């Protein structure tokens, strides 16, 4: 009985132990989870990142932050190990150290930290980016990791140099402080005569050092974001904004990480004024039309002081200059400042900016004319807003594409263009070589060269060449830039082979600074036959086989629809139109596009296109060069809600707040509208597409209108297109049609004058020198700005008052630069004269202008 009871009691105890075992294990596991593993003592170098060769030292520590003793396992052979990871494990001390899998139980008291092991390791497998140091307790499975930045050396930049420029300050003293912080631009220069592919990791960043006060890894990528950099190119890497230095002169150095031998430095001066910004306020710049602009555009900027906090802020300004904007080019030069055209009277102004709202101040429009009176160069610009009384600064940027009308304005860099050779290569083609001598050049257009061919009287055609460079590319050339094999096909506008005689070819570089060259040559009609071993057979073959050879034309594409179907219309630089009938020679993958333009080798056929019978047809043989002319940009959303604090308009036009879709097409549209030489042929193309111009029946009214046009041009030779519109009261399409008919009948001819196109009756020879051509009397549209200027001067003159340029700008709500331009035009035509009264220039009408006003509707 006793023995049996003992056995039964043992069985019960064993069963109870088995039932309690999971709970005991869970308690043990729960205790072990209280333990924490950490990596301690690992410090980052002053430079802010690690490179290969750096030595890291650290401890792997296991801690018990709980209130009771915890038991765990450890490996007596390797209590701790570590790994280096960068996309994968590159080093494992457990494996490399030959550790054995052993286990031993240990206890860690409450609040105790146990150093499992100490390590020292030389980094040697780092790449650009982020790497991790992982500490591990092998037996217990505890782990911890810390991430660090790493950089490495590269030999990619052996053919480059680096440049850093500190921008000018708005005050003009070039002293930086808490408001006028250091704004520096970094350039990368390709020193080789070849394009270099930027095969480098995106995580490579430039190091920025200012003495002992700053040593950081910047956000600027080493490649600047470029996939390749052209020969001798100077490209923008990015901008640095730095502040918080001690008084005195400092050296700013920018270099490749881990490579002090590739660096650039400059000096700046810092003065502390012991001022600090109001925390919580921000400043920003709102642009009227996105971030892409071109010739003919106006820029309206709104300075915005934003209050993103949850409480209202009251601001007091001692003058009307509360939030000003200035613009810097890629050389660090201020090209415009809103304070350039206004004073800052000392009048106390108070504003309350409610929580989540903004104080917006609109500035006068600007037409992209810099402080030297020159049109901006093609390129990217940095916009900075300053709120000087509260030490707030904000940023924006824009891109500008120049028309090239004032390329050599402000040039201090000599350049020249010289012909090397002009050779006839076959019966219809000459080839030109030319050398461009310049040290520092900025390419302003997609095509580097414009080539024009003249006979003894007028322009035959215009072509564009070397269209591979993006607009805004800057190059530092160590030798002449040679343009070779510039092909010119000797055909007239009717596609007839040119007769023998003397011709002139002009070459112009589309650059800043620009250069041009002109050369006369004798064209000999005939076939050039190369000599071979079987010369006679070659001659016979030439005589029996008909050679089909195309000509090179430059133009753009447009998709049109007719009653019979669709086709692609090609318009060249002279306004000639034709449709493509076959392009298999250039491959089935290529397709025309409205976004494409370039030089194309074509052959005009005798038959019309089967779906667009109103146009000539051609076969496309070859694409010489091609580029994108329409580059859509991301739509920009401008806030529609006006803050309760209101928008304050100063010296400018009212704000138009809307959702604006911005694209490069807007730039082209503005340029086309302002340039009659492009607008007139494009009008013809558009009307032709709509069926308004084409094969129509002649009417008596058409003959009458052309009679009016001929009569007006006979009395006013040299009148331009817009003046004809106003004088004859025709629509744009009507006038374009009648001009085309008269030109086809050789009754009138045209000549470009800047952006204008002037028309002359055939009674005046085409060969008349430009300075001997008659200048028509100016008849401005009464609703135009010139007409309004004349009317204001007439009204003031009757009261013996003569306004200044500034007075006219204020009254007409236009910029001074625009008013200045129109005043110079009116002076040129003898309608306005400038008189000095005291220290200011004032303007008055001439007798001719008074006569014009009395005899017109102005």
Which of 192-201, 307-316, 603-612 shows the lowest mean pLDDT across its residues? 603-612
pLDDT tops 60 at residue 368:
yes
The CA–CA distances, whole Å, from 474 to 185, 190, 440, 441 equal 15, 11, 7, 6
What integer pLDDT is reported at residue 778 of this predicted model? 55
Render the burial of 48-63: b for 16+ CB within 10 Å, e for the rest: bbbbeebebebbbbbb
Q: Which of 205-214, 655-664, 673-682 has the highest average model confidence (pLDDT)?
A: 205-214
Domain boundaries, the chain: 1-27, 36-150, 156-270, 282-406+637-659, 416-528, 551-629, 675-772, 785-854
- Residues 6 or more apart whose CB falls under 8 angstroms from that of 680 comprise 575, 721, 736, 739, 757
Q: Taking residues 300-320, what's their average pLDDT?
A: 91
Greater pLDDT, 24 or 600: 600
* Residue 608's pLDDT band (cuts 50, 70, 90): low
Residue in this structure with the two tokens 């133009």, named with its chain if needed: 555
Q: How far apart are CA 572 and CA 549, in angstroms?
A: 19
Could you tell me what percent of the chain has a pLDDT over 90? 32
What pLDDT digit, counting tens, does each position of 466-506 carry? Answer: 877 677 899 999 889 999 888 888 877 667 788 888 899 99
Three-class DSSP labels, 759-795: EEECCCCCCCCHHHCCCCCCCCCCCCHHHHHHHHHHH
Q: Architecture of domain 282-406+637-659 in CATH?
A: Sandwich (2.60)
* The CATH number, out of the four listed (2.40.50, 2.60.40, 3.40.190, 2.40.10), of the domain defined by the range 416-528: 2.60.40
pLDDT tops 50 at residue 636:
no
Check: CB of residue 640 under 8 Å from CB of residue 593.
no
What integer pLDDT is reported at residue 782 of this predicted model? 67
* The CATH number, out of the four listed (3.40.1550.10, 2.60.40.10, 3.30.70.1450, 3.30.420.40), of the domain defined by the range 156-270: 2.60.40.10
Could you tell me what percent of the chain has a pLDDT over 70? 77
Query: 378: buried, middle or exposed (CB in 10 Å: 19+, 13-18, 0-12)?
Result: buried
Collapsed DSSP state (helix, strand, coil) of residue 91: strand
What integer pLDDT is reported at residue 776 of this predicted model? 62
Q: List % helix, strand, coil for the chain (3-state, nearest 5).
A: 20, 40, 40
What pLDDT digit, counting tens, does each position of 152-198 carry? Answer: 888 888 899 999 999 999 988 999 998 899 999 999 999 998 999 99
- Residues 6 or more apart whose CB falls under 8 angstroms from that of 370 comprise 335, 336, 376, 410
What integer pLDDT is reported at residue 717 of this predicted model? 84
* Residue 547's pLDDT band (cuts 50, 70, 90): very low
What integer pLDDT is reported at residue 726 of this predicted model? 67
CATH topology for 551-629 is OB fold (Dihydrolipoamide Acetyltransferase, E2P) (2.40.50)
DSSP-derived pairing of the beta strands 577-582 and 616-628: parallel
The CATH number assigned to the domain with range 785-854 reads: 1.10.10.10
Three-class DSSP labels, 225-253: CCCEECCCEEEEEEEEEECCCCCEEEEEE
Q: How far apart are CA 202 and CA 50, in angstroms?
A: 17
pLDDT tops 60 at residue 839:
no
User: Residue 464: which of 599, 305, 608 has the closest Cα?
Assistant: 599
Collapsed DSSP state (helix, strand, coil) of residue 818: helix
pLDDT tops 90 at residue 721:
no
pLDDT tops 60 at residue 102:
yes
416-528 and 36-150 share a CATH fold: yes
Greater pLDDT, 381 or 259: 381
Which class in CATH covers the domain with range 675-772?
A: mainly alpha
What integer pLDDT is reported at residue 215 of this predicted model? 92
What integer pLDDT is reported at residue 704 of this predicted model? 78
Check: CB of residue 568 under 8 Å from CB of residue 611.
no
Render the burial of 231-246: b for 16+ CB within 10 Å, e for the rest: ebbbbbbebbebeebe
* Residue 407's pLDDT band (cuts 50, 70, 90): low
What integer pLDDT is reported at residue 642 of this predicted model? 38
The CATH number assigned to the domain with range 36-150 reads: 2.60.40.2360
* Main-chain dihedrals φ then ψ at residue 8, nearest 5 degrees: -65, -40
User: Residue 251: which of 237, 236, 270, 238 has the closest Cα?
Assistant: 270
pLDDT tops 90 at residue 668:
no
Greater pLDDT, 116 or 648: 116
Greater pLDDT, 3 or 727: 727
- What angle, rounded to 10 degrees, do the helices at 805-812 and 785-797 form? 120
Check: CB of residue 171 under 8 Å from CB of residue 273.
no
Token representation of residue 173: 């003293």
Which of 339-343, 410-414, 622-626, 758-762 shows the lowest mean pLDDT across its residues? 410-414
Greater pLDDT, 577 or 161: 161
- Residues 6 or more apart whose CB falls under 8 angstroms from that of 595 comprise 628, 629, 630, 631
Which of 90-104, 228-242, 383-397, 732-746 shows the lowest mean pLDDT across its residues? 732-746
Check: CB of residue 710 under 8 Å from CB of residue 702.
no
pLDDT tops 50 at residue 853:
yes
What integer pLDDT is reported at residue 435 of this predicted model? 93
Strand partners, 37: 62
Half-sphere exposure of 245 (CA within 13 A, CB side): 27
- From first CA to last CA, the distance across the chain in angstroms is 136
Q: Taking residues 253-257, what's their average pLDDT?
A: 92
* Residue 267's pLDDT band (cuts 50, 70, 90): very high
What pLDDT digit, counting tens, does each position of 347-365 carry? Answer: 888 999 999 999 999 888 8
Is the pTM higher than 0.75?
Answer: no
Q: How far apart are CA 620 and CA 487, in angstroms?
A: 17
DSSP, res 663: B
Token representation of residue 778: 């100016």
What pLDDT digit, counting tens, does each position of 776-815 carry? Answer: 655 566 667 888 898 899 888 888 888 988 888 888 888 7
* Residue 529's pLDDT band (cuts 50, 70, 90): very low
* Residue 396's pLDDT band (cuts 50, 70, 90): very high
What integer pLDDT is reported at residue 493 of this predicted model? 64
Which of 33-37, 541-545, 566-570, 590-594 shows the lowest mean pLDDT across its residues? 541-545
- The mean pLDDT of the chain is 79
Greater pLDDT, 461 or 525: 461
Q: Taking residues 750-769, what's their average pLDDT?
A: 80
């Amino acid at each position: 009985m006793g023995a049996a009871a003992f056995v039964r009691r043992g069985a019960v105890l064993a069963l109870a132990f088995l039932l309690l075992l999971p709970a005991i294990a869970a308690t043990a596991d729960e205790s072990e989870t209280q333990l924490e593993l950490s990596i301690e003592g690992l410090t980052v170098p002053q430079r802010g990142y690690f490179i290969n060769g750096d030595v890291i030292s650290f401890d792997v520590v296991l801690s018990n932050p709980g209130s009771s003793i915890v038991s765990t396992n450890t490996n007596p052979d390797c209590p701790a190990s570590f790994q280096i990871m960068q996309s994968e494990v590159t080093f494992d001390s457990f494996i490399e150290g030959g550790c054995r899998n052993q286990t031993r139980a240990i206890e860690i008291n409450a609040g105790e930290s146990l150093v499992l092991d100490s390590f020292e390791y030389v980094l040697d497998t780092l790449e650009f980016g982020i790497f991790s140091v992982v500490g591990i307790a092998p037996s217990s499975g505890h782990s911890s990791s810390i991430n660090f930045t790493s950089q490495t050396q590269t030999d990619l930049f052996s053919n480059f140099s680096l440049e850093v420029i500190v921008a000018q300050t708005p005050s003009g003293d070039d002293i930086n402080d808490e408001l006028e912080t250091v704004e520096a631009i970094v350039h990368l220069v390709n020193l080789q005569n070849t394009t270099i592919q930027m095969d480098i990791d995106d995580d490579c960043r430039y190091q920025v050092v200012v003495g002992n006060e700053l040593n950081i890894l910047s956000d600027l990528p080493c490649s600047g974001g470029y996939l390749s950099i052209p020969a001798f190119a100077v490209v923008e890497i990015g901008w640095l904004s730095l502040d918080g230095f001690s008084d005195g002169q400092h050296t700013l150095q920018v270099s490749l990480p881990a490579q002090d031998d590739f660096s650039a430095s400059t000096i700046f001066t810092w003065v502390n004024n012991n001022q600090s910004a109001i925390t919580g306020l921000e400043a920003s710049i709102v642009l009227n039309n996105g971030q892409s602009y071109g010739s003919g555009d106006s820029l309206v900027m709104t300075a915005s002081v934003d209050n993103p906090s949850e409480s209202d802020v009251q601001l007091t300004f001692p003058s009307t200059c509360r939030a000003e904007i200035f613009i810097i080019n890629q050389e660090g030069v201020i090209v415009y400042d809103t304070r350039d055209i206004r004073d800052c009277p000392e009048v106390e102004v108070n504003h309350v900016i409610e929580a989540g709202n903004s104080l917006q101040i609109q500035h006068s429009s600007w037409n992209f004319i810099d402080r030297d009176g020159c049109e901006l160069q093609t390129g990217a610009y940095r916009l900075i807003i300053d709120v000087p009384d509260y030490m707030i600064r904000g940023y924006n940027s824009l891109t500008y594409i120049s028309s090239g009308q004032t390329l050599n304005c402000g040039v201090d860099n000599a350049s020249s263009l010289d012909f090397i050779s002009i050779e006839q290569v076959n019966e219809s083609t000459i080839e030109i070589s030319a050398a461009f001598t310049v040290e520092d050049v900025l390419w302003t257009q997609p095509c580097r060269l414009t080539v024009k061919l003249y006979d003894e009287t007028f322009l035959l055609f215009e072509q564009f060449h070397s269209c591979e460079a993006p607009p805004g590319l800057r190059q530092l050339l160590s030798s002449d830039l040679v343009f070779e094999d510039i092909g010119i096909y000797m055909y007239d506008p009717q596609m007839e082979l040119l007769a023998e005689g003397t011709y002139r070819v002009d070459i112009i570089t589309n650059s800043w600074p620009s250069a041009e060259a002109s050369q006369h040559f004798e064209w000999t009609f005939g076939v050039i036959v190369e000599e071979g071993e079987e010369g006679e057979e070659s001659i016979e073959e030439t005589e029996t086989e008909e050679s089909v050879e195309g000509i090179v034309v430059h133009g753009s594409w447009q998709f049109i629809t007719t009653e019979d179907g669709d086709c692609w219309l090609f318009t060249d630089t002279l306004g000639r139109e034709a449709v493509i009938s076959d392009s298999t020679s250039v491959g089935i993958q290529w397709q025309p596009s409205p976004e494409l333009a370039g030089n194309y080798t074509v052959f005009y056929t005798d038959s019309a296109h089967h779906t667009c019978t109103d146009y000539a047809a051609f076969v496309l043989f070859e694409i010489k060069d091609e580029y994108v002319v329409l580059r859509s940009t991301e739509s920009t959303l401008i806030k529609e809600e006006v803050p309760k604090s209101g928008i304050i308009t100063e010296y400018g036009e009212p704000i138009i707040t809307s959702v604006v879709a911005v694209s490069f097409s807007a730039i082209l549209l503005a340029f086309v509208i302002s340039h009659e030489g492009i607008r007139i042929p494009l009008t013809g193309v558009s009307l032709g597409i709509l069926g308004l111009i084409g094969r129509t029946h002649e009417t008596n009214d058409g003959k009458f209108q052309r009679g009016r046009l001929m009569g007006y041009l006979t009395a006013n030779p040299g009148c331009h297109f817009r003046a004809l519109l106003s004088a004859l009261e025709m629509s744009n399409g009507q006038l374009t049609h009648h001009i085309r008919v008269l030109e086809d009948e050789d009754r009138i001819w045209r000549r470009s004058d800047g952006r204008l196109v002037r028309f002359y009756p055939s009674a005046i020879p085409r060969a008349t020198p430009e300075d001997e051509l008659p200048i028509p009397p100016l008849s401005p549209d009464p609703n135009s700005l010139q007409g309004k200027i004349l009317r204001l001067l007439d009204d003031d003159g009757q009261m013996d008052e003569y306004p200044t340029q500034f007075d006219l700008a204020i009254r007409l709500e236009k910029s001074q630069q625009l008013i200045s331009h129109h005043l110079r035009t009116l002076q040129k035509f003898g309608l306005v004269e400038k008189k000095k009264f005291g220290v200011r220039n004032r303007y008055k009408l001439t007798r001719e202008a008074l006569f014009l006003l009395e005899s017109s509707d102005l």
